[in-house]
Amino acid sequence: MNITPLEIRQKEFEKAFRGYDKDEVAAFLSSMSQEWERAMDTQKELKIKLESAEKEVEKLRQVENSLYKTLKTAEDTGANVINQANKTAELHLKETQIKADKLIQEANQKATNIIEGANKRAQSIMHEMEEELKEMAESLKTLESFKDNISEELKNLSNGLQERVKKVEDRVKHVDVEMHLKRARNAVNKIKNADFELPEEIESDKIEFELEPAEMPEVKQPDTAPQKKEKQTSNADDSGEDTSFFDEI
């Protein structure tokens, strides 16, 4: 029930015997109406303030909703950005890992190729050195054989020469030098007195003092040159002439 201040002022009570004092009741009602009026004014103010507060609350709610939406959008955007950043980072990491693996594989392949090339080169050098050592051993063996042959042939030649010298000495011992000198003087005297014709006795008395030529033994030189030099030595073989060690000297 709504009671206005005016109703409080105009309120009349029935008169009774020995009832309330009329003036006191009127004063109380007047005071009560004033207080009630103030209360209603206060209520109006409070209602206005309440409405204003409700409007502010509504605005704040709208702002809150907007902020919530903004925050939600920001969170979603941040999450998307973080997710995208993570995906991008993972992609870059995978690409970097792939590139690193590729570089490592290429480096390992290059190192393997270098090692294989070095091993092949070392094996080739070792093979060449072994072949050269074999050729040197064969050449040394041939030279030793040649040395033995030369020594044997020189020994035989020395023995042959000694025999021939001995034969010459034996022949010289049997030659009558005085007789040949006497014949030569007689021949010279006859030449002086004759017309430079050679006397028959000179022709018949020719000294048979010729020595058989010494036969030099042939010594074959060793083929100490490598197989690559066969073409150079083939020219001497194709000439058809046999050469000896002493002929070359």
Q: What is the mean pLDDT of residues 151-180?
A: 79
Task: Give domain status of residue 32, yes or no.
Answer: yes
Question: pLDDT of 48-104, one tens digit each?
Answer: 988 898 888 888 888 888 888 888 888 888 888 888 889 999 999 999 999 999 999
- Max distance between CA atoms of the chain, in angstroms, equals 240
Residue 17: predicted pLDDT:
61
Helices (H) and strands (E) in the chain, counts: 6, 0
Cα 122 to Cα 132: distance, rounded to the nearest angstrom: 15
Q: What size, in residues, is the chain? A: 249
Is 56 inside a domain boundary?
A: yes
CA 202 to CA 207: how far, in whole Å? Answer: 9
Calpha distance 25→87 (Å, rounded): 87
Give the list of residues 6+ apart from residue 248 with CB closer than 8 angstroms, or none.
221
Q: Is residue 50 part of a domain?
A: yes
Q: Assess if residue 232 is contained within a domain.
A: no
Residue 163 domain-assigned (yes or no): no
Local confidence band at 211 (pLDDT 50, 70, 90 cut-offs)? very low
| Residue 48 belongs to some domain of the structure | yes
Radius of gyration from C-alpha coordinates of the chain = 76
Q: Which residues of 172-186 are buried (b: 16+ CB within 10 A; e: fewer)?
A: eeeeeeeeeeebeee
Per-residue confidence band for 9, with pLDDT thresholds at 50, 70 and 90: low
Tens-place pLDDT, residues 30-40: 877 888 888 88
Q: What is the pLDDT of residue 5?
A: 65
Number of domains in the chain: 1
Would you say residue 14 lies in a domain? yes
The answer, as to whether pTM is greater than 0.75, is: no
pLDDT at 240: 44
Least confident of 43-57, 146-160, 191-205, 229-243: 229-243
Tell me if 201 sits within 8 A of 187, measured CB to CB. Answer: yes
Residue 155 located in a structural domain: no
Neighbouring C-alpha atoms within 13 Å toward the C-beta of 41: 7
Range of the domain at 14: 5-75
pLDDT at residue 107 greater than cutoff 90: yes
